[in-house]
Amino acid sequence: MDFAAIDSQISALEQCIANTVPVSADEKLHVGVDLGTAYIVVVVLNGAKEPVACAMEFAQVIKDGLVVDYIGATRIVRKLVNEIEERLGRQLTHAAIAVPPGTGEKDCGTHRHVVEGAGLEVTTILDEPTAANAVLGVDNGVIVDIGGGTTGLSVLEDGKVTYVADEPTGGTHVSLVLAGNMGIPFEEAEKLKKEADRQTDVLVVVRPVIQKMASIINRHIQGRDIAGIYLVGGTCCLKNMEAVIAKDTGKPVYKPANPFLVTPLGIALNC
């Protein structure tokens, strides 16, 4: 696995949040829409599958992989798509989306309708670990996706997902513990934990939450031959949380440059 190449691809996408890369009038665009518990992210790649634009918004319109505010979700996707169309000077027409593993057909349909309601035809519906693995290329190991609400695990053997699990404990719990410890509102804790120069102090306070995530991983990988742990999802952005996971699981841990963007990038790669 070429970690440097993965990191450079993800860093290029990160740059595209603020800077749009020009595209020609006729090249194919690959679009990924990630409907998450905490964020909705739209990623656009050019004909060579290189990142050209990325936009996101904090949104609480999805819960446990289910759309709980259909109108709100559609409105945000439409807004992000319009913003990117303006930046690129191109219309977006098609998109790939992803759902948590085990999402039923009816709920997949709702995700599809949100994106189609925003004007994009959905060409592919993937499961989230398969999307993340389009970027990571894990053959044997476990992808651990720690988002807003849950810690999700996907065990891969010979490149195929063979076991999945998803348990409550994610970034929301990190913020709740931080808010309680510091006596500040949840929203303030959400902001504070993302400040790069405060994260060393934040980790001291929220270490037990990260240890809980490690215990979830341990329980599910027990008795399996796991070569390594691959971290994705926004909560893994917390500085040095990977060291806690490595210590408590005793496994090698790989964390990409920006774990938050791995799944959205993988979705777009599959469009």
List residues near ligand ATP by CB under 6 A: 36-39, 145, 147-150, 170-172, 190, 193-194, 233-235, 237-238, 260
DSSP 202-259: HHHHHHHHHHHHHHHHHHHHTTS----EEEESGGGGSTTHHHHHHHHH-S-EE--S-G
Minimum distance from residue 239 beta carbon to ligand ATP (Å): 8
Cβ proximity to ligand ATP: between 84 and 174 the closer is 174
Which stretches of 118-170 are DSSP H helices?
A: 128-136
Cβ proximity to ligand ATP: between 221 and 237 the closer is 237
Cβ proximity to ligand ATP: between 28 and 239 the closer is 239
As given in the structure block, the two tokens for residue 260 are 């938050």
Cβ proximity to ligand ATP: between 171 and 266 the closer is 171
Minimum distance from residue 194 beta carbon to ligand ATP (Å): 4
Residue 211 half-sphere exposure toward CB, CA atoms < 13 A: 8
Bridge pairing between strands 66-67 and 94-99: unpaired
Q: How far apart are CA 68 and CA 224, in angstroms?
A: 36
Cβ proximity to ligand ATP: between 23 and 42 the closer is 42
The angle formed by the CA atoms of residues 105, 138 and 149, to the nearest 5 degrees, is: 50
> What are residue 55's phi and psi, to 5 degrees?
-140, 150
Minimum distance from residue 4 beta carbon to ligand ATP (Å): 22
C-alpha distances (whole Å) from 124 to each of 81, 89, 175 are 17, 24, 33
Cβ proximity to ligand ATP: between 35 and 271 the closer is 35
Radius of gyration of the chain (CA): 18
Minimum distance from residue 55 beta carbon to ligand ATP (Å): 14
Minimum distance from residue 22 beta carbon to ligand ATP (Å): 28
Minimum distance from residue 241 beta carbon to ligand ATP (Å): 8
Q: How far apart are CA 140 and CA 229, in angstroms?
A: 10
